[in-house]
Amino acid sequence: MDPIFSARGIVKAFAGVQALRGVDFNVLPGEIHALLGQNGAGKSTLVKILNGVHPAGSYSGEITLAGETVSFASPAAARAAGVGYVPQEIEVLEQLSVAENVFAGHTGLGEGVLIHRHKLEARTRAILDDLGLTIDPKAIVASLTSAQRHLVMIARALALKPRVLMLDEPTASLSGTEVEALLEVLRRLKRQGVTMIYITHRLPEVLEVCDRATVLRDGRVAAELGRDAFEEERFIFAMSGQRLQKLFPAHEAPVGARPMLSVEHLNVAGKPGAIYGARDVSFSVAAGEIVGLAGLLGSGRSEILHGIFGRVPADGAVRVDGQPIAIRSPRDARDAGIALLTEDRKRDGLLFNLPVGANITIGNLDPLSARGMVRGDRERSAILEAMRQLNVKASSPQASVAHLSGGNQQKLLFARVLMRAPKVLLLDEPTKGVDAATRQEIYRLVVELANKGVALVVVSSELEEVLGLCDRCLTIADGRIVDEFKRGEGGEDRVLRAVAAAQAETVRAAS
């Protein structure tokens, strides 16, 4: 079969970085083609070339679509040729409605200049229904969670009925059931004849829906595999050149340790229409203990962390190391020794106009200072040490954050909270978008911190991560703790059963 979309000899350099070093990439009609590789391997760069974000002339090599040579000068040109694209980072207009976002830039298609708003909403409804989503087309995007925003962007790409759809890590911020729903959408699109290029770090998804895979390593193709050759270990070996050992490092909950964090009757108001917030949540975490919050998207897991950290108005009592603290703002929380790794690195994590180094040390300058002055030498060596420890792929501490690959941006945020040496560390999706090798490194760091007496709370949409990493799991549904068990006392089915029971109860109470 001839490829529908193919690239030959693609070479792309940025100032100081050779991102692609001669890539051949062939996508067959009607397949779901996985594009794999470690953070910084060049995946996003390749799809940006195929989509005109990096326009013709900014790279060398040849691209053909359905047998014809194409050179896209812009994303609009690629769209017009039937190439759809959902970028890795969320790009939505917060103050507009879902329908306006889905059709932003596409209005007037085939029907003159004006389209009635009701019509846009109805069409958006149809696309969202097709995706199996209950998001209201009239909702203002600012009220949505980051996962829901990602789904809106997918709807936006589908609005143009593309022939080839490229998805750059669409599931990075989704949890189990949402991932399943999305994979179901991909299967449906495949039956409709849409060809897809699918980037992910979650290998089980590849085994589940993809037909073939191309693995990039350091800007080169390391392997091209057909479905019969699919195997997680083989992918990992092609990506890293290494075999990975056991996924989760061993950790035992400390016995009789004092509570480092305790939360009593925490209430957080939900965002209008979208989520529940937190209701009467009480729990404590011992020094050296890792506690996981499991639950579905929008169950209130992140709101609990945000409430403790003072990012959203909350009431209830919080104590750190026995000391009651009044948390009215993140500053109060930080002063008390609490650090938060945010889930949404673009919206409230990284400062895109500051370089890599400053993004790590921001807020952490005190220990690097003497008599109120920042010691440049200490700052520089601390930055280099943090970059080395987390294997941050950037040309130098002066490099621009906007130019880092998604997974490397995540590592910067992690480096920042580590440097803070907190007593309590709240991690919201700590491995979002990071590759298998770095994921292991992050797990290792989490356990190391626990061994130093830090109390950790982990929110992850990957149940496996919560169950494998944490000493104790709290299951959250509708903003409440509905179940609690220790490592080894339950698995995924226990979490899902508790969630289902809580939901059934909510439905009963409402009727």
Ligand X SMILES: Nc1ncnc2c1ncn2[C@@H]1O[C@H](COP(=O)(O)OP(=O)(O)OP(=O)(O)O)[C@@H](O)[C@H]1O
Interface residues with Mg ion (CB under 5 A) are 44, 88, 405-406
Minimum distance from residue 107 beta carbon to ligand X (Å)? 30
Please identify, using beta-carbon distances, which residue of 252 and 352 lies nearer to ligand X.
352
Q: Which does 408 bind (CB under 5 to 8 A by kind): ligand X, Mg ion, none?
A: ligand X
Question: CA-CA distance, 381 to 378, in Å (whole number)?
Answer: 5
Which listed residue (406, 430, 479, 490) binds ligand X by CB under 6 A? Answer: 406
Please identify, using beta-carbon distances, which residue of 123 and 201 lies nearer to Mg ion.
201
- The residue range among 124-132, 220-228, 235-243, 405-413 that interacts with ligand X, by the rule CB under 6 A, is 405-413
Minimum distance from residue 435 beta carbon to Mg ion (Å)? 10
Please identify, using beta-carbon distances, which residue of 263 and 350 lies nearer to ligand X.
350
381 CB contacts (<8 Å, ≥6 apart)? none
| 45 lies in the site for ligand X, by CB under 6 A | yes
Q: Which does 403 bind (CB under 5 to 8 A by kind): Mg ion, ligand X, none?
A: ligand X
Please identify, using beta-carbon distances, which residue of 44 and 124 lies nearer to ligand X.
44
Map the footprint of ligand X across residues 15-34, applying CB under 6 A: 17, 19
Question: CA-CA distance, 470 to 293, in Å (whole number)?
Answer: 9
| 52 lies in the site for ligand X, by CB under 6 A | no
Minimum distance from residue 133 beta carbon to ligand X (Å)? 25
Residue 419 CB coordination number (10 Å): 21
Minimum distance from residue 401 beta carbon to ligand X (Å)? 10
Minimum distance from residue 142 beta carbon to ligand X (Å)? 26
Please identify, using beta-carbon distances, which residue of 46 and 210 lies nearer to Mg ion.
46
H helices of 269-361, in order, are 301-309, 330-335, 345-348, 356-361
Map the footprint of ligand X across residues 360-399, applying CB under 6 A: 393
The DSSP string of 213-277 is EEEEETTEEEEEEEGGG--HHHHHHHHHSS----SS----PPSSPPEEEEEEEEEEEPPTTT--E
- For residue 323, list its beta bridge partners: 320
Question: CA-CA distance, 7 to 388, in Å (whole number)?
Answer: 34
Please identify, using beta-carbon distances, which residue of 291 and 412 lies nearer to ligand X.
412
Q: Give the CA distances from residue 320 to residues 263, 265, 267, in Å, rounded to whole numbers and listed in that order.
A: 9, 15, 18
Please identify, using beta-carbon distances, which residue of 239 and 499 lies nearer to ligand X.
239
Question: CA-CA distance, 489 to 467, in Å (whole number)?
Answer: 10
| 430 lies in the site for ligand X, by CB under 6 A | no
Q: Of 297, 412, 295, whose CA–CA distance to 345 is shortest?
A: 412
Which listed residue (10, 23, 34, 43) binds ligand X by CB under 6 A? Answer: 43
Cβ atoms 338, 262 nearer than 8 A: no
Cβ atoms 455, 261 nearer than 8 A: yes
Q: Which does 17 bind (CB under 5 to 8 A by kind): Mg ion, ligand X, none?
A: ligand X
**Angle between helices 376-389 and 406-419 in degrees, nearest 10:** 120
Strands 338-341, 424-428: pairing is parallel
Q: Which does 42 bind (CB under 5 to 8 A by kind): ligand X, Mg ion, none?
A: ligand X
Q: Which does 248 bind (CB under 5 to 8 A by kind): ligand X, Mg ion, none?
A: none
| 37 lies in the site for ligand X, by CB under 6 A | yes
Cβ atoms 266, 299 nearer than 8 A: no
Burial of 493 (0-12, 13-18, 19+ CB in 10 A): exposed
Cβ atoms 289, 458 nearer than 8 A: no
Please count the residues of this chain forming the interface with ligand X, following the rule CB under 6 A. 19
Which listed residue (10, 33, 44, 278) binds ligand X by CB under 6 A? Answer: 44
Cβ atoms 420, 362 nearer than 8 A: no
Please identify, using beta-carbon distances, which residue of 405 and 438 lies nearer to Mg ion.
405
Q: Which does 39 bind (CB under 5 to 8 A by kind): ligand X, Mg ion, none?
A: ligand X
| 248 lies in the site for ligand X, by CB under 6 A | no
Residue 104 CB coordination number (10 Å): 14
Strands 369-370, 373-374: pairing is antiparallel
Which listed residue (405, 431, 440, 475) binds ligand X by CB under 6 A? Answer: 405
Q: Which does 490 bind (CB under 5 to 8 A by kind): ligand X, Mg ion, none?
A: none
Q: Which does 137 bind (CB under 5 to 8 A by kind): ligand X, Mg ion, none?
A: none
Residue with tokens 């962390």: 305
Q: Of 269, 281, 284, 287, whose CA–CA distance to 319 is shortest?
A: 284
Please identify, using beta-carbon distances, which residue of 150 and 311 lies nearer to ligand X.
150
Q: Which does 359 bind (CB under 5 to 8 A by kind): ligand X, Mg ion, none?
A: none
Map the footprint of ligand X across residues 78-97, applying CB under 6 A: 88
Please identify, using beta-carbon distances, which residue of 31 and 435 lies nearer to ligand X.
435
Minimum distance from residue 235 beta carbon to ligand X (Å)? 14
Residue ranges that bind ligand X, judged by CB under 6 A: 14, 17, 19, 37, 39-45, 88, 393, 403-408
